């Protein structure tokens, strides 16, 4: 089962810094990232999505499309009941909406497994608002089906 984790930041560059920390942790085998994306919102409200994925996944085109559609769905206020059916609750959506203000950033990560103590220690130096929801394999498949 993968864990969908979202962390929002009041600084538009901090999510990028967290991504670099997660990549270092992955090299040390302390976290197994399935997929990740950094989202920034500039002062004019323009949203930029920066996906991080392996070339094997990138060749299929699935990863970038998945994140783009998921984030568009979440940020455009899609039907909460539909999202709830696939494990994304209304509170999670509200927290994302509250977090993504102009000149902010967020990181969305699908984590396969992790060493929680080491991650808390490493990410504790950042000032973010943690939002998260667990996705089972079935929920992830349903989400994918909804978005594609």
Residues 123-145 have pLDDT tens digits of 778 888 877 656 666 766 665 56
Number of structural domains found in the chain: 1
pLDDT, residue 122, reads 80
Q: How far apart are the first and last CA of the chain?
A: 21
Answer whether 40's CB lies under 8 Å from 15's CB.
yes
pTM: 0.76
More confident residue, 93 or 75: 93
Q: Identify the CA nearest to 6 among candidates 38, 32, 50.
A: 38
pLDDT given for residue 40 in this prediction: 93
Q: Which domain holds residue 81?
A: 2-147
- Predicted confidence (pLDDT) at residue 74 exceeds the cutoff of 80: no
């Amino acid at each position: 089962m993968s864990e969908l984790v979202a962390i929002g930041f009041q600084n538009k560059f901090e999510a990028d810094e967290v991504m670099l920390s997660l990549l270092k942790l992955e090299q040390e085998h302390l976290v197994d990232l399935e997929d990740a994306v950094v989202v920034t919102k500039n002062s004019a409200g323009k949203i930029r999505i920066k996906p991080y994925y392996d070339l094997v996944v990138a060749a299929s085109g699935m990863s970038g499309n998945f994140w783009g559609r998921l984030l568009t769905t979440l940020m455009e206020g899609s039907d909460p009941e539909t999202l709830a059916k696939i494990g994304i609750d209304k509170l999670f959506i509200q927290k994302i909406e509250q977090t993504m203000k102009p000149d902010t950033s967020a990181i969305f990560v699908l984590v396969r497994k992790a060493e929680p103590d080491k991650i808390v220690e490493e990410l504790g130096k950042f000032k973010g608002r943690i939002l998260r929801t667990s996705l089972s394999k079935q929920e992830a498949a349903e989400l994918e089906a909804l978005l594609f």
